[in-house]
Amino acid sequence: MPPGEIKNTKVACVECDLLVDVPPLEVRQRSLCPRCGHVLSYGNLERARHALPYGICAAVMLPLSLLFPFMSFARSGIENEVNLVQTAWTLYLDGSVFLSGLIFSFIITLPACVVAAILLISFALNLNRNLPLLRPAARFIFSVSNWSMVEVFIIGVLVSLVKIAHMASVELGLSLWTYLAFAIFTVAALAKLDKLVVWQQMEKLAT
Residues 10-68: tens digit of each pLDDT: 777 877 878 888 877 766 777 888 888 888 877 677 788 889 999 999 999 999 988 88
Kindly state whether residues 178 and 88 are assigned to the same domain: yes
What confidence category does residue 168 fall into, taking pLDDT thresholds of 50, 70 and 90?
Answer: low
Strands ordered across the beta sheet of 78-82: 78-82, 71-75, 169-172
Kindly state whether residues 37 and 51 are assigned to the same domain: no
What confidence category does residue 72 fall into, taking pLDDT thresholds of 50, 70 and 90?
Answer: low
Kindly state whether residues 26 and 79 are assigned to the same domain: no
Kindly state whether residues 134 and 32 are assigned to the same domain: no
Q: Which residues have a Cβ under 8 Å from the Cβ of 205 and sit 6 or more positions away? A: 124, 128, 129, 130, 134
> In the listed set 43, 59, 76, which residue is the last one of a domain according to the structure?
43
Kindly state whether residues 69 and 37 are assigned to the same domain: no
Q: Show the domain range for 21.
A: 1-43
Kindly state whether residues 188 and 133 are assigned to the same domain: yes
Predicted pLDDT at 116: 94
Kindly state whether residues 7 and 62 are assigned to the same domain: no
Kindly state whether residues 37 and 120 are assigned to the same domain: no
Kindly state whether residues 194 and 112 are assigned to the same domain: yes
The residues with which 19 forms a beta bridge, in sequence order, are: 12
Q: How far apart are the two ends of the chain, measured CA to CA in Å?
A: 12
Query: HEC states along 164-196?
Result: HCCCCEEEECHHHHHHHHHHHHHHHHHHHCCHH
Number of domains the chain is built from:
2
Residue 113 has pLDDT above 60, yes or no: yes
Kindly state whether residues 68 and 142 are assigned to the same domain: yes
Q: Which residues have a Cβ under 8 Å from the Cβ of 34 and sit 6 or more positions away? A: 18, 20
Kindly state whether residues 78 and 169 are assigned to the same domain: yes
Q: One-letter amino acid identity for 133? A: L
Kindly state whether residues 30 and 59 are assigned to the same domain: no
Predicted pLDDT at 155: 74
Give the rounded distance of the alpha carbon of 93 from its chain centre.
29
